[in-house]
Structure 1
Amino acid sequence: MELDLPTFKKIEAVGWTVAICILFLFFGNVGICIGFFILVRKLFMKVKRSKIPEIDPTGKVVVVTGCDSGFGLGLAKRLYERNFSVFACCLNVDSEGAKELKAVGSERLKVVPLDVTNDDSVSKCQRLVKEECANTGLWGLVNNAGLNFVGDVELTTMDQYLTIGNINMYGMVRTCKAFLPLLRQAKGRIVNVTSVKGLYAIPSNAAYTMAKFGAEAFSETLRQEMSQYGVSVSIIEPCNYGGATGCLNEAALKRIKSDLDAQWAEASDDVRQFYGQAHLQQQLEDCKNSSKTSAPNIEPVLKAFEDALVNPCPHIRYLVRGSNSFFDFYYFLALICPYMPQHLFDKARAYFVPYIIYK
C-alpha cells in the first residue's frame, strides 16, 4: 500500500513518541537506548522510502554541471530518459560529450556553456535557466563539475592549490548561490558530488582532498540552512570510477603528467634532491594502475543520483562502491574511518594505499 508524505509524517510522529516512551520505560542503559533508537530509525526510514511513491519528473527542470564526460554526461542522458527537462552544462560546448547530447535534438535537453570558476559564466547560465522555470522554480541542481589531481603537499604549486580549490569547491559554492532562489521556489534538490577522498585524506592528494573536504563541509552547512525551506541537500561520494568516467584516460593522463612536470619545474634544488624525479613518475604510474582497478561502469553512481532526485526521502549521503573486484578498499576505509583510533586507521590506510618515495 502506498501512502502520501503528510500521512506518513503523522504516523512518524506517533511512532517516535511511542518508541521514546518504550526506551525510557524498559531500558536503563544509555548505550542500549541509543543503539535501539538507531536501529528503529533505520528500519522506519527503510519502510518509509519503500512505501511513498517516487516524485513524478514530468515538467521538472534539473541543472547538471560537468556534462562534457563521465558522470555528468551519463546523468544528463539518464534524466532525459526519465522525462526530466535537463540543462546539461558543459565547459566546452564543442566537446564530444556536448555533441552527443546535442544530437538528441530535444527541447527537454539543452546544452549550455558553463565555467564554474567564472562568475559571469555562472550568472549567464542562471539567467538561461530562469527563463524556462521562472514560474515553477528549479527542481534539481547537480554539482558534478570537478577535476582530478595528484601531488605531494611540498611539490604542489600554490597556483595548483588555488586552481583545484576553485574548480572542486568554490565552483560548487558559485552555482549554489546562483540557483538557490529558484530551488527554494520549487522546494527542490541539491546534489553535490564530492568523493570518498572527502571522508579521509591520503598522501599525494593534498589539493584534491582539501577541496573535497571543503565541499563536504559546505554541503553539510547548506543542508542545515536549507532544511527549513524544504530544499534537500544530498552528497554523492563515489569511490574508484576513474577508468569508467574517463578522468584517467589518455588525455587526462597527459594533463596529470603536465601538472607533475610543473611541480618539478617550480621545485627548489633541495626539494628536487629529496624527492627525485622518479617519485613523480611513480605517481603517474599509480594513476594508470588505478584506472585498471576502477569500477567497470558508472551505473551505481547514476542510481544514486536518481534516488537523490526522485525519492521523497533522499539520503543525506550516498557512499558508492567502485571497484572491479569484490573488495573495495577505498569503501572499506571510509566505513572504518569514523570508528578507529587515528594511528590504527593510518596503518590500515598505509597497507592499502602505501606512500613510498621512489628514488
Structure 2
Amino acid sequence: MGVRVFAGCLFNKGEGADALRNICSNQLHVLQLDVRDPDQVDAAFNAVVEKLNDYELWGLVNNAGICFIGNSEMISRDDSLKIMDVNFRGPYLMCTKFLPLLRRSQGRIVNVSSNAGLAPVPLMALYCSSKSALFMYTEVLRAENECFGIKVSAVIPSGYKTGIIAYDKARMAEKWWAEAPEIVKEDFGKKSFLIKSKATDSDEMLSTDISPVINAMIDGLLSTQPKPIYYKGFLARSIPFIYSHLPSPLREPVVGILTDWFEFQPICLQDIE
C-alpha cells in the first residue's frame, strides 16, 4: 500500500522475520523487539526515530499475544506472568513510549484484544485477564488522547487459526506438574494437567483467513473515522453481548455452554462423584 512499516519481531533473524522481508518491499523495516523488555522497546523507538522525518510516526499496532490453557492454579507462575507481560505490559510499554510521536502526527493506535477479554472462559484465566486489561487500557487511551487528535481502536477477533494455542501441550503439562505445589497435585492429579479440546475437529472450526482482522487494523489506521471497536470472527460479538446484557440467572448457564471448550477433570471431583 506504499506505507513504511516497522515490524517488531521477537527474533529479528528468525523464520518469521525472513518471511516478512521476502514478501514485502523495501518499505518494511524489521526490528528486534521483545515487548516485555523495556530496553528493547527503547531501542525500537530509537531505531524508528532515526528513520523518520521530524518524528512523523502515524500509527502503532499492538498485536503480540500468547495463550496457555489451564486452570489458574495449574499454570506455573513464570508462564502466568509471561502471559500478562506479553498481552498487557508489552502494549503498555509500547504505547507510553510511542505516544509522544503519535501526538505530533495526530495518529492512531490499534490494540488487538479478544472476546475472551470481554467474557470469562474457563481454563483461560490469565489470557482473559490480560486481554480484559488491554481492552480497558485501550478505552482509557481513547478518552485521554481524544483532545490530542489521536484515534484509538480495539480489535476483537474470535475463531481464527493463528497458532496461538498450538504450543506443545504435553511438554507444558510436564513442566507445570513438576512445578506445582504438592497440594495442587493431590487435588488435580497429573492427567488433568494435559488440557484437551472437547471438539474433536476444533481446528476445523477456526478460520484460516485472517484478512478480516488485517482489514480492521488497516481501517483503524487509515480510515478518516475509524471505529472504536472492531468485532471480527466467530462469536466475537455474541459472547460479550450475552455476558453483558442477559440477566444473571440466564447469563451464567448460557455463557457457560458457549465457552465450554476444554476438558478438565481433577481427581478431587472424581472422588466426590
Write the distance in 1 (CA, Å) between the matches of 2:199 and 2:7: 28
The CA distance in 2 between the partners of 1:176 and 1:274, in whole Å, is 42
Distance 1:224 1:314, change over 3 A: same
**Pairs aligned (count):** 265
TM-score (norm 2): 0.90
C-alpha contact (below 8 Å) 2:138/2:152 kept by paired residues: yes
1:357 to 260, 264, 272: 264
CA deviation after TM superposition for structure 1 residue 86, in Å = 0.5
From 212, 221, 244, the equivalent of 2:140 is: 221
- Whether contact under 8 Å (2:158, 2:233) holds in the other structure is yes
Q: Choose which of 262, 268, 272 in structure 1 pairs with 2:181.
A: 268
Q: Quote the offset at 1:316 in angstroms.
A: 0.6
CA shift digits 1:325-350 (9 cap, x unpaired) = xxx4x542122221112342210122
Query: 1:194·1:235 contact (CA, 8 Å) conserved in 2?
Result: yes
2:174 aligned partner, one-letter code = D
**Is 1:113 paired with 2:59?**
no
Contact kept? 1:134, 1:182, Cα under 8 Å: no
Instruction: Give the distance between the partners of 1:157 and 1:343, measured in 2 at CA.
Output: 34
**1:155 partner SS:** coil
Q: How far does the alpha carbon of each residue in 1:236-288 deviate from its partner, in whole angstroms, 9 at most, with x for none?
A: 110121x2x2324xxx331x43333222222233322322223232x244598
Question: In structure 2, what is the Cα distance between the partners aligned to 1:269 and 1:127?
Answer: 47
- Secondary structure of the 1:296 match is coil
Task: Give the direction of change, closer, same or farther, for the CA distance of 1:331–1:224 in structure 2 (3 Å limit).
Answer: closer
**Within 1, Cα distance between the matches of 2:24 and 2:216?**
26
Q: Please name the residue that 1:89 is paired with.
A: 8
Partner residue in 2 for 1:199:
118
* SS across alignment from 1:142: strand
Question: For 1:115, what is the secondary structure of its paired residue?
Answer: coil
- Return the match for 1:247 from 164, 180, 204: 164
Residue 116 of structure 1 and its aligned partner are, at CA, apart by 0.4
CA distance in 2: counterparts of 1:335 and 1:162, whole angstroms: 29
**Equivalent of 2:224 in 288, 304, 312:** 312
In the alignment, the residues of structure 1 paired with residue 37 and residue 53 of structure 2 have an alpha-carbon distance, to the nearest angstrom, of 23
- 1:294 correspondence with 2:206: yes
Contact kept, 8 Å, 1:196 with 1:334, in 2: the verdict is yes
Q: CA RMSD in A?
A: 2.0
Deviations 1:22-49 (A, max 9, x none): xxxxxxxxxxxxxxxxxxxxxxxxxxxx
1:198 deviates by 0.8
CA contact (8 A) 1:91 1:113 kept: yes
* Length-normalised TM-score, structure 1: 0.69
Is 1:341 the counterpart of 2:260 in the alignment? Answer: no
Residue 134 (structure 1) shift: 4.0
Larger RCO (alpha carbons 8 Å, 6+ apart): 2
**Residue pair 2:243, 2:251 contacting (<8 A) in 1 also:** yes
Structural mapping, 1:1-359, within 5 Å: 82-104=1-23, 106-135=25-54, 137-241=56-160, 243=161, 245-248=162-165, 252-254=166-168, 256-281=169-194, 283-286=195-198, 289-322=201-234, 328=235, 331-354=237-260, 357-358=264-265, 359=267
- Where do 5+ consecutive residues of structure 2 fail to align? 268-273
Q: How far apart, CA to CA, are the structure 2 residues paired with 1:353 and 1:277?
A: 24
Taking structure 1 as reference, are residues 247 and 356 closer, same or farther at Cα in structure 2, changes over 3 Å only? closer
Which residue number in structure 1 is paired with residue 271 of structure 2?
Answer: none
| Overall identity of the aligned pairs, in % | 32
Structure having the higher Rg: 1
Q: If each structure's helix is expressed as a fraction of its own residues, which one has the higher value?
A: 1
2-structure distance, mates of 1:225, 1:346: 34
8 Å Cα contact 2:115-2:239 kept in structure 1: no
- The structure-2 alpha-carbon separation of the partners of 1:286 and 1:147, relative to structure 1 and needing over 3 Å to count, comes to farther
Residue 310 of structure 1: how far off its partner (Å): 1.2
Question: Is the Cα–Cα contact under 8 Å of residues 243 and 255 in structure 2 kept in the other structure?
Answer: no
Q: What is the distance in 1 between the residues matched to 2:254 and 2:263?
A: 15
